[in-house]
Amino acid sequence: MKRSFLFGFLLFLVSTSLIFAQERKRGFYVDIGLGFGGISYFGGNTKTIADSFNKTANIHMTLDLSLLTIGWALTQNVYLVGTIAGVGDGYFDSQMNQSQLSIAMYGIGAKYYPLPSKKYLQLGLDLGVSTLGILQNNKTSTSDPGFSTRFSAAYDFDSTMTGFTGMPGGALMMNIIGNDVSLSYTLFFKLAFK
């Protein structure tokens, strides 16, 4: 009885040490973030609306909303992800009445760590469907769906393969909705688990 207990205990110690000796593997991925920046509109009704909002605004601010990214590691350097992101372009007058242009993106894409030995740099590319929302005089209208693409680059503070981390970075998002084209450029900070 004592021998079998001792043998079982030794087997447990050896197997546990082998498990912890192996490098942790990437699997599930999730991140959320928030940032600020700017947006440019080219052609279509959106540029006209943004110009009219800007004429009466005392405060203009653009927020990056990296609402949710969820995915799974295809390799130890690449995650396949689904993303919900957006840009809120808010205009406030002297009485703090708000008008806003909002672009929401629902896409799929990849997060890529291009330098395997240095796991700090993360690149992202998402393609998806987008909609434009216009808030004016407390009424909201939404456009038909369009096309959106988003490129991001971030610095991963956690150089290990897995775990919680913080990532500062930047993103460019282009949207084509009918005749309306916009390009947003933002800086963000996101929290992630990989």
Q: Report pLDDT for 85.
A: 95
Q: Could you give the CA distance from residue 136 to residue 97 in angstroms, rounded to a whole number? A: 9
Q: Which amino acid type is present at position 101?
A: L
Q: Report pLDDT for 94.
A: 83
Closest CA to 170 of 15, 21, 12, 33: 33
What is the C-alpha R_g of the chain? 23
Q: Report pLDDT for 138.
A: 82
Q: Could you give the CA distance from residue 58 to residue 26 in angstroms, rounded to a whole number? A: 47
Counting as low any pLDDT under 50, the low residues of the chain are 2, 5-22
Q: Report pLDDT for 88.
A: 93
Q: Report pLDDT for 112.
A: 94
Q: Which residues are CB-contacts of 172 (< 8 A; sequence separation ≥ 6)?
A: 150, 151, 152, 183, 184, 185
Evaluate whether 186 touches 87 at the Cβ level (below 8 Å): yes
Domain residue ranges in the chain = 27-193
Q: Which residues are 30's β-sheet partners?
A: 70, 193
Query: For the structural domain made of 27-193, what CATH number should be given?
Result: 2.40.160.20
Evaluate whether 185 touches 38 at the Cβ level (below 8 Å): yes
Q: Report pLDDT for 6.
A: 44
**Does pTM surpass 0.85?**
no
